[in-house]
Amino acid sequence: MINKTTLDNGVRLVTERLEHAYSVTAGLWMEVGSRDEEPAQGGISHFIEHMAFKGTAKRDALAIARELDRMGGMANAFTSKEITCFHARTLAELLPEIADLLTDIFLFPSYPAPELERERQVILQEISSVEDAPDELVHVLFGRDYWPESPMGRPVLGDAESVGAVSRQDLVDYLAGSYVPAKLVVAAVGDLEHERLVELMAPALSGLPVSTGRNHRQPPSPQPGLRVHRRDSEQVHVAMGAPGPSAKDPDRFAGALLNVILGGNMSSRLFQEVREKRGLAYAVFSYLSSYSDAGLFGVYLGVAPGRSPEALKVVKDELARLAVEPVSHEELVHAKEHTKGSILLAAENSDSRMSRLARNEFNFGRDVPLEEVVANIEAVQVEDLTRVAARCLDPKVLGITVLGPADAEGLASEVAS
């Protein structure tokens, strides 16, 4: 059963009771991410996430670590382009302890100077690790190339310059200006009573002052075309993308199925054409990233330097074919079964259920039952896939970022053809 309470200041608490669970998974979800940062603030949302477990007014970093270890549970946090989340899972009987700990690290971080400087070095190493991983770096470069005028194009981690410049006061000011009640959803799943969670967390969360916060979000404007970043490496890494359905777009179900058919599994067209039939790549896949007001159909592949134009042609041909040639009935059925299976299997995981609660609240203001999702997937027809492909995979809006010792002339010729 799903229950929801909205506090007077706008904080929403949403729970789902699981009768046979032994645990509780709870998260504080703030609708603030890297797309809400100014250019000079790059990575500050992620920095705040890192600092959450580094001390509060009543617990230092070691006390937080010991308390989590004593409870035998799990606690973590993550930052994305649109969300910052602090979450934990523990035995149901320890709900009061984990509720107190989560509200403490969320509301009262102390940002001690020694911990801040240590964590800055950790984040700088995290940024460096991406620089050393071309299969990750190419996606960072693609974001900058495809959405150069939008904060959506900047990396969640920030860069060495922006992270190196963050001060304690910057963290305090950003938290005060961005972490506002209307953007906060508490989501909890497991062996719990809704009223008990509200009783435990409402007193602290009610203290958040009512504020609208900053809201500068604008849908990103794509800048299509080919960009080649030369670098010595054993492979050429290619990231491609085109606009896709947003998280609220009715076409998101057709988009999800289209992604499965294109490159979402081993029987997909790209896997079969690029890897199995031609041996052009070890890794090749597509993905669909859906945000609150935008989306991205993406493709990644890593190929031998001399074969990048050939691989690009194969991918372009498959994208074009989807927009004009209806998929087979068998492909559609397989995509539906794959998608439904993935969704329903994930529903057996309490972290996934918690995430669904929070994201549905952000996007729709209500719970979206799994039965409704499955029905929408089943309702997609072949002509819907062709229409969405024609709308989203137009070569005129395709962005291509290439990293490595690429044949730039050959790639440019292929793109122009």
67 annotated active-site: no
- Distance from CA of residue 296 to its chain's centroid? 12
Q: Is 16 exposed, middle or buried (0-12, 13-18, 19+ CB in 10 A)?
A: buried
d(CA 325, CA 307): 27
In 3D, which of 247, 254, 245, 258 has the Cα closest to residue 379? Answer: 254
In 3D, which of 133, 152, 378 has the Cα closest to residue 244? Answer: 152
In 3D, which of 76, 83, 50 has the Cα closest to residue 178? Answer: 83
DSSP 127-173: HHHHHT-HHHHHHHHHHHHHSTTSGGGS-TT--HHHHHH--HHHHHH
Place of tokens 């005060």: 176
Give the max Cα distance, the chain. Answer: 65
Catalytic option among 31, 37, 49, 82: 49
d(CA 259, CA 261): 5
Residues tagged active-site: 49
